[in-house]
Amino acid sequence: MHPDPESPLAEAALTLLAHPWIGEARPGAGGRLHVRPDHSALTIRPVGGLVTEYLEHWGEVYDWTYTHDDARHSPDLDLSGWRASDTGRPLPVAHMREWIDHTVDLVLGTGPRWILELGSGTGLLMHRLLDRVEGYVGTDVSAAAVAALRARGLPRTAIVRAAAHEATTPAVRAALEEIGAPGGRPDCVVLNSVTQCFPGVDYLRVVLGDVMGLVAPGGSVIVGDVRDSRLLHAYARWVEEATAPSTAAGEIARRAADRAARDEELLFDPPLLARLAADLARDSGRTARLRVHPKTMTDDTELTRYRFDAVLRVDAGPPPVPKEVDWTSLPGDDRLGALTALLSGEPVHVRGIPNAVLGRDRPGAVAPSRLRAAAGPGAAVVADPGDPATLGVAGPADAAARPVQELVGGTAHDPFIAFTRRRLQEISRSVLRRSVPSHRDIAVVVEPPATGIGEDRDEDQDGDGDAEIRRRAAARAAEAVANVDAARLPGFLRRLDEAALLAMACTLRPAGLIRDGATAGEIMDALKVAERHGWILRRWLEALTREGLLRRDAQGRFHGLRKVRRDEVVAAGRGLEADGAAIGYPAETTRFLLAAMNRLPELLRDEVPAQALLFAGDDMSTADGAYRENTVNRYLNAAAGETLRWAAGRRAEPLRVLELGAGVGGTTVDALRALTGQDIDYLFTDVSRYFLSLGQERFGDRPGVRFALFDINAGPAGQGVPPGSQDVLLSANVLHNARHAPDAVAALGRSLAPGGLFVFVETCREMPAILTSMQFLMSPRTGGPRLYPGDPRDAGDRVFLTREEWLKVLREAGLDPMFTLPGDDHPLAATGLHLFVARRR
């Protein structure tokens, strides 16, 4: 996209477009340049410039490691680079020997004869497998590692310098023919402890496609020692707690979130691997089954806790049909003994075993190493692909294998996105410094590529990628407000806020702030503010001070209130109804906000409830306008509905949706419209029986919709919503009602199945017009708490978390943010309302 040559930043933008890695440069709000990478820089085949640079970085890292790290204990045990994250010291040799033996057993369990290992490094596996197979090809990007292995002159081997995406090149195929692999095809491909160096999920898909096409029918692809993306934040917290054990919990959480966000390695989980394999198998006409294994070493280290191994069997015969046994059905006094006895007979899969390494306090929890000892030869310890904290034992191992099409969801921590953003920012600054010195300090915003990255097709084209659903949601949202000038809405809302601030000041005049000053408590007494509304008054004082209408001295007394007359408040609101209606803001809603401003003394004294103004005469038009019909809510509800449509399209079974605090059904309308024609199990909930009754009137005839009372401040399981039972949690401006937002989100998140979506709208800034109206609905009952201690809003009587605080809450609750809308450069961003979409790990 070429910028308008008349714009002030045109020269800088056109200069950046000359760089081959920049495909789009355009001026944005605030004098910033928005840049997107060129598709050619991101491709895997041919290898784009950014991909090449990323791979070369890792090649240089390992070249240095293999030549400078003195960890060579013997010719076949070079542990260079294997250091603990918490101490920086080499991992214990005995533990690493056990790690190697674990992987060797995993490979031999597939019965290989000709092995291709991508990323063979110093040959830790090759040295131990070579005498057990007929031929072995090892590849690596490190010249030092390749030279060292070639120098050893190992029999029946061929060593090739090649990256993982070069598995099907002539050099590798020639090496496979050299070792005698029939048709130049291995029956086992090993990628062990290398995927963390891949430049993103797209690269993983290309490599997986190559090796699934290359491996002989019935063969195996082993993707081993993978860092589990679902455990990234647990890993980061573990490192922070180990390095600074006396640090306060809140600071540990902050540091862990920062560490996780900065992690420079590719992490993914078994469902994502299965999803990629399912797509590739479908496109190639092959079949694939997946089984997942935990690490079964004895010592409790990061290798045991946060990594898994996956075995894909390609075009294999039918697996054994096992007897399925629940762990809890075995005798509680000797479950391990009963397990050993079971494995001596017919094929069996014992499932549902809590993993003691990740949850030692769970009833019946067992460490993987103890299960390995009890299982004995011929059986294997496996992991539930959807839950790393749940184990199983299968005899034989393939009894636990599942067709890849059965696994849904999937998450990843993709470092290539951050790498691309960082490099393009560096390149942009460098180009501008050299070519346009007057713009050397210009701010550059790097955006994701306009299309997916990939070789032949991108993950987003079939609706699987996070970027695709964000584009779909944003497009649907834009369509919903296409008939209004959204750019005018922020100005209108500022006028509403200005009127509200004047109304606050006018209401406070009897408290004597103009003459003598007063404390917050004295003001409450003077105005006879109801105890439960005291927090609202304190927020008014904060807002008026911030906006310069009031002063606070060092002793906490307030002075100098600006003199505001009632007719000034009336004048500020004049014309707002018509002006708002012209840009899609319902006149009924504006009328309610202005009516509340005119009744503030009575609202503060609790003589008039805000509900009486919002639901006057049982007329729902005012509430509909507040929750649905205004421009920003139409935008956000439409995006939420499109997200649900996308989620439903990915499930063969009915989509299970729990809507929290559905209220008047403003968001429900868009959600159910988007799900038209889909099989659903939609639970409409609210804490109020009145709203349940209203919901039944409006949506009771829709098939698949149920209704129930639900309180977000109580545990979901105790209200009939067990863990893992939902595909989508949906809410709109509800979560700020939680008395402890982090705890509530964590509890609610556990009701999602792995890969399930938390879709919610929240206000992320305080708006004076809401502070003088809707927030009266949030006051607790007299004597009751509004917030619990420890909630980040408690100290300042806040109602809303910022967008960054919500993202932190999500991550700490085991939910990975996928996207938020609107973007920072969208005019509706000024409203402070945002849609959040996050996925459970």
pLDDT tens per residue across span 645-660? 999 887 778 999 999 9
Mean pLDDT of 7-23: 82
Residue 664 in tokens: 């008047």
Q: Does the pLDDT value for residue 459 go beyond 60?
A: no
Please determine, for residue 3, whether its predicted confidence score (pLDDT) is greater than 80.
Answer: no
Given a contact cutoff of 8 angstroms between Cβ atoms, the answer to whether 671 and 728 are in contact is no
SS3 at position 398: helix
584-604 confidence digits (pLDDT tens): 777 888 888 999 999 999 999
Which of 238-252, 426-440, 712-726, 815-829 shows the lowest mean pLDDT across its residues?
Answer: 426-440
- Quick one: pLDDT at residue 489? 79
pLDDT at position 60 is 73
- Region 422-434: mean pLDDT is 87
% the chain with pLDDT above 90: 49
Residue 401 has pLDDT above 70, yes or no: yes
Q: pLDDT by residue (tens digit) across 322-366? A: 999 989 888 877 899 999 999 988 999 999 999 999 877 777 889
Residue 491 has pLDDT above 50, yes or no: yes
Highest mean pLDDT among 46-60, 87-101, 289-303: 289-303
User: How many Å apart are CA 122 and CA 151, to the nearest integer?
Assistant: 12
Q: In one letter, which amino acid is 454?
A: G
Confidence category of residue 794, pLDDT binned at 50, 70, 90: confident
Q: From CA 604, how far away is CA 520, in angstroms rounded? A: 14
Q: Would you state the pLDDT for residue 62?
A: 62
- CA 541, CA 550: separation in Å to the nearest integer? 8
- Going through 212-343 in order, the beta strands assigned E by DSSP cover 220-227, 267-268, 288-294, 307-314, 323-326
Beta bridge partners of 326: 351
Q: Which is nearest to 588 in space by CA: 573, 576, 577? A: 577
Predicted pLDDT of residue 455: 32
pLDDT, one tens digit per residue, over 560-576 is 999 899 999 999 999 99
* Residue 345 dihedral angles phi and psi, to the nearest 5°: -115, -135
Lowest mean pLDDT among 254-258, 384-388, 440-444: 440-444
Q: Which has more confidence, 201 or 257?
A: 201
pLDDT tens sequence across 708-753: 999 999 989 999 999 999 999 999 999 999 999 999 999 999 999 9
Average pLDDT over residues 279-304: 91
pLDDT on residue 444 = 83
pLDDT digits (tens, 9 = 90+) for 662-696: 998 989 999 999 998 888 999 999 999 989 999 99
Residue 157, phi-psi category: left (phi > 0), alpha (psi -120 to 50), beta (remainder): beta
At residue 642, does pLDDT exceed 50?
yes
SS3 388: strand
d(CA 586, CA 584): 6
What integer pLDDT is reported at residue 81 of this predicted model?
A: 59
| pLDDT of 76 | 60
Q: Exposed/middle/buried for 782, CB within 10 Å: 0-12, 13-18, 19+? A: exposed
Question: How does the average pLDDT of the chain come out, rounded?
Answer: 86
Contact call for residues 149 and 159 (beta carbons, < 8 A):
yes
Residue whose entry in the numeric block shows the structure tokens 């209401």 = 507
Q: Is the pLDDT of residue 759 over 90?
A: yes
For residues 627-643, average pLDDT: 82
What average pLDDT score do residues 792-797 get?
84
Closest CA to 292 of 407, 432, 193: 407
CA distance 772 to 543: 11
Give the least confident one: 70-84, 133-147, 183-197, 738-752: 70-84
pLDDT digits (tens, 9 = 90+) for 364-385: 889 999 999 999 888 999 999 9
The answer to whether the beta carbons of residues 124 and 149 sit under 8 Å apart is: no
pLDDT over 50 (residue 821): yes
288-294 sheet: strands from edge to edge:
157-161, 135-140, 114-118, 188-192, 220-227, 307-314, 288-294, 402-403
> Parallel, antiparallel, or unpaired for β 188-192 and 72-74?
unpaired
